[in-house]
Amino acid sequence: MAVVDRKSRIAIVGGGLVGSLAACFFAKRGHSVSIYEYRADIRVEDYRGQSIDLALSIRGREALRAVGLEEAVVDHHGIAMRGRMLHNKDGTLREMLYDSVKGNCIYSVSRRYLNIVLLNAAEKYPEVSLFFNKKIIDANVDNGKLKILDTKTKTIEGVEADLIIGADGAYSTVRRIMAKRPLFNCSQTYIEHGYVELFVPVGANNEFAMSGEHLHIWPRGEFMMIALPNDDHTFTGNIFAPFATLDQLKTPQDFLSFYQKQFPDLLELIGREKLVKDYFEREPKTLISIKCKPYHVGKTTLLVGDAAHAMVPFYGIGMNAGFEDILLLDELMERYNSDFSLILPKFTELRCEDAHAICELAMYNYIEMRDLVTRKSFLLRKSLDTFLHRRIPNTWIPLYSTIHFSRMKFRDCIANKEWQDKVLRRIGWCVMFLIIGMLMAPFVEVLAGKNAFSTEY
């Protein structure tokens, strides 16, 4: 990895997953990095941020590998999930493997644990300085200037940088400032569903109460539950439902009746008292999708991660996409020798439409998880994909595998799926015409015989 002759001053707004990973990459190239995080240091204070456990796959693993952190996360903490486990109302289970051909899996990882690993790794570089309780209140994105409030002392300081990295999440202050500029396009979409975090305790003999090798899903059409395994043998679960549904669960009795009808097995695993306590101590949270373009301003400011492309969590790809942002950024730094005037516009060119595509796909996957997975047509298509993938593995790769087990561009993943749909439709039409031809053959023969008889007579 090439090291620049002149250190650039990098100001990273946001010390979450993507921001702290970016600090590691910039520091490896010799840049001077300062991280400004609004929250307190989660390594010393028990800050409860976002829920929903993370699903780590190839795109994220490659980024961690590049800074020597893959082993610390995957081998020492990650829980391998080899597929979905669907829970029906009657208690029956159905396993849906992610990759029954090559055996690829994704890993359940605690957000807090991963953030701590990344902050510790960043802090080990002498080029990196971490600043907590720092709120960005204004910025000149053209000149690389930040105005920062210390939330403890209430003092304001000015900071200058050669490059500002906006890694401050879905409600990004840096993006909000960029949105005031001409020709900056930005849209946000809230879905009409919210979520509440719930927890499945340790089972008998200190083991998992359910299979620890699966992402568990309770699909119920308009809503669903999911649960991911943790390394302490608990599960972090979330109920996703329309706010209209959640608003009806006002009392413990209403809530327990709802779970008794929809998720009776979970009610037994969690217990009535704990389930009620966990649900009513939290307000339902919203889910937002963000699209914007461009991601950069000149050579001085760049958006990455959720600040650039927040997505709903149903494809489990948001963190991986954010990590891949940094991997792509590093590849461009290598190509252009850390010349940000070339790197930033190229990043926008390569990443914007790709990120828009995965945001759309994440929306679709919610429908798949809560509804389509129970339909015969979906199961038939999955069986066809598996059959063809097993026989021509390098030609026929299912959509899920291209998203999670490759670094194929997201647009190309979707184009590949559309090509597969087209092939299957044509095969379906050919089979249908063949069957019709076979069924009609006897009638054609009879008619031909009658015509011959009429001619002879």
Percent with pLDDT over 90 in the chain: 81
CA distances 257 to 225, 267, 276, Å, are: 16, 10, 11
Q: Give the separation between CA 232 and CA 206, rounded to whole angstroms.
A: 9
| 451 — pLDDT class (breaks 50, 70, 90) | low
Mean pLDDT, residues 168-182 taken together: 96
pLDDT surpassing 60 at residue 455: no
Q: Are 404 and 413 in contact (CB under 8 A)?
A: no
| 456 — pLDDT class (breaks 50, 70, 90) | very low
pLDDT at 429: 87
pLDDT at 432: 82
pLDDT surpassing 50 at residue 4: no
β 32-37/185-190 pair status: unpaired
pLDDT at 3: 44
pLDDT surpassing 80 at residue 450: no
pLDDT at 5: 44
- Domain boundaries 9-78+110-190+288-368, CATH class: alpha beta
pLDDT at 1: 47
Mean pLDDT, residues 223-232 taken together: 94
Q: Are 137 and 156 in contact (CB under 8 A)?
A: yes
Per this entry, what is the length of the chain? 457
Read off φ and ψ for residue 292, nearest 5 degrees: -150, 165
pLDDT at 73: 95
pLDDT surpassing 90 at residue 177: yes
β 224-229/214-219 pair status: antiparallel
Query: From the centroid of its chain, how far is CA 181?
Result: 29
Q: Are 242 and 222 in contact (CB under 8 A)?
A: yes
Q: Give the separation between CA 94 and CA 137, rounded to whole angstroms.
A: 50
- pTM value is 0.91
Burial state string for 229-241 with b = 16 or more CB within 10 A and e = fewer than 16: bbeebbbbbbbbb
β 32-37/9-13 pair status: parallel
Burial state string for 51-73 with b = 16 or more CB within 10 A and e = fewer than 16: bbbbbbbbbbbebbebbebbebb
| 51 — pLDDT class (breaks 50, 70, 90) | low
pLDDT at 371: 74
DSSP state of 285: B
Angle, CA of 208, 211 and 215, to the nearest 5°:
115
pLDDT surpassing 80 at residue 448: no
Mean pLDDT, residues 34-46 taken together: 93
Domain layout of the chain by residue ranges: 9-78+110-190+288-368, 193-280, 410-457
Query: Across all residues in the chain, what is the average pLDDT?
Result: 92
pLDDT at 378: 84
The helix or strand, by DSSP H or E, that contains position 79, with its residue range, turns out to be strand 79-81
CA distances 344 to 19, 180, 283, 341, Å, are: 17, 19, 39, 6
pLDDT at 7: 86
